[in-house]
A and B are shown apart, each in its own frame.
Chain A
Amino acid sequence: MIYLDNAATSWPKPDCVTEAIVRYLRDIGGSPGRSGHQLANAAERLRLDAREALAELFGLANPLRVVFTSGATAALNLVLRGLLGPGSHVVTSGIEHNAVMRPLRALETQGVEVGIAACAPDGTLAPAAVAEQLRPQTRLIVVNHASNVCGTLLPIRAIGALARERGIAFVVDAAQTAGCQPIDLEADNIDVLVFSGHKGLLGPTGVGGLAFSPRFDVGRLPAAVFGGTGSRSEDEHQPDFLPDKYEAGTPNIVGIAGLAASVRYVLARGVSAIRAHEQRLTRRLLDGLGTIGQVRLFGPPTASARTAVVSFTLAGWSSSQLAQQLDERFGILCRPGLHCAPRAHRTLGTFPDGTVRFAPGPFTTEAQIDAAVAAVARLAHGQ
């Protein structure tokens, strides 16, 4: 089996992740933040392990500015719905996932105005296109760091500089890049970074979150979910401090335990080493698929301008037929269709048919890439 669906969920996971989850369930089991007995404290230490690892990864000094949610989607809903209201204006890009577009379209019905900075047909975005969309009432700029469809990296540092000059909040959806591209909240001018645990961070599903820059005043952002936090139990009002303000309810500590181990794995192997490995595979994939005449590739031609995500179509084939054949005949697992990102496919000119997406990961080998390319070539040649 050749797993090329790492942009949806990375797999396999490092063994330390499975072991950490088992260790938590077997030896700890307690709820962090509650009760104060030794197992509850052990669970809280585990949660701090995860916060510290993520803070280190994103260049954040205070680990308590890392907040966990059920995933990047919940985190984006929290920040977009919390910061935007009737009469406010938000700018996003033409290459977003529905995790950004759907909250924004819902907010539009409540009087929020949405400006979309147009991308080039390969998904690249000029900071000037963002600047053109800005208005006096722009409250927020939100973009993904890289497209989940074609891997194109967006110039977040330059966009963040535009936002910072004007005092506009800058939110980055790093679902596709956390763990495989360098990210530094301060240098990249990010106010709020949204991450997903189960992709490049190599953790389990059901956990993600937000990292708040020290510049960002959380007083501006109301909680989305209210409830028990273990803290200030005498008070019927939600705490106003991080991380408790946004962490009501018993957390997914099973997931957080796995994420603590997976982010430590990423830090030990090194983001730059993972990126170099993935760029080698991406280059090989682009070169290999590029030799098949009937293949059309999307996104930028250079591996360094993208993450390890390659979208393509094969003449005469629908994306779903092609993915099915790759799975059934060759054991190659990938994702066809629109990838929850109709806006991005419109930009690429692949809406509504979609593409087939190959997304290698840190454990994919060059031999697997070659086998995937050979399988596409065989199907292209009617074999």
Chain B
Amino acid sequence: MSRFAVILVHSTSHAVRAERLLKRAGLSVRLIPTPRRLSSDCGSAVRIELSDRARVERLLAEAGLEVDRIEPLPE
């Protein structure tokens, strides 16, 4: 398992909004193509540090941003 997790969201609009919210909160984030192993969606997902997961969930919930799920990112 890598040190990253990936946030799977409804669409790229949501991915970019999540990226911006988390960046503004000072977290290390990166947009990545949605890993095919985790979802059939062809858009973008947001990679975060696994250790930030609880904080990320709270920040996104506070902003009312719906998340499909957060998964550890395989190596």
Contacts and interface: CB of A to CB of B under 8 A. Distances in A.
Interface string A238-268: 0101011000000000000000000000000
Contact of A231 (B11, B31, B33, B64): B11
A240 B32 CA distance: 24
B20 A231 contact: no
Interface residues of B, number: 22
Interface string A29-58: 000111111001100110110010000000
A232 interface: yes
A145 B5 CA distance: 47
A64 B17 contact: yes
Interface in B21-53: 31-34, 40-44
Contact of B64 (A32, A35, A36, A62): A62
Residue of B10, B13, B34, B43 with most chain A CB atoms under a 10 A cut-off: B13
Nearest to B39: A234
Contacts of B16: 41, 44-45, 47-48
A141 B62 CA distance: 32
A35 B64 CA distance: 25
Given A48-B20, A64-B17, A33 B12 contact: yes
B44 A36 contact: yes
Contacts, number: 77
A63 interface: yes
A41 B13 contact: no
A379 interface: no
A45 B34 CA distance: 17
Given A44-B16, A45-B16, A62-B64, A244 B10 contact: yes
A49 B37 CA distance: 31
Interface residues of A, number: 27
Interface in B50-70: 63-66
Contacts of B65: 62, 64
Of B11, B44, B63, which is in contact with the most chain A CB atoms at under 10 Å from its CB? B11
Contacts of A61: 64
Residue among A41, A51, A61, A63 having the largest count of chain B Cβ atoms under 10 Å:
A41
A115 interface: no
24 contacts: A32-B12, A33-B12, A34-B12, A36-B12, A36-B34, A36-B43, A40-B12, A44-B13, A44-B16, A51-B13, A61-B64, A62-B63, A63-B17, A64-B14, A64-B17, A230-B11, A230-B43, A232-B11, A233-B42, A233-B43, A241-B11, A241-B66, A244-B11, A244-B13
Given A45-B16, A244-B10, A244-B11, 13 more contacts: A33-B43, A34-B42, A36-B31, A41-B12, A48-B17, A62-B63, A230-B11, A230-B42, A231-B11, A232-B11, A239-B11, A243-B13, A244-B13
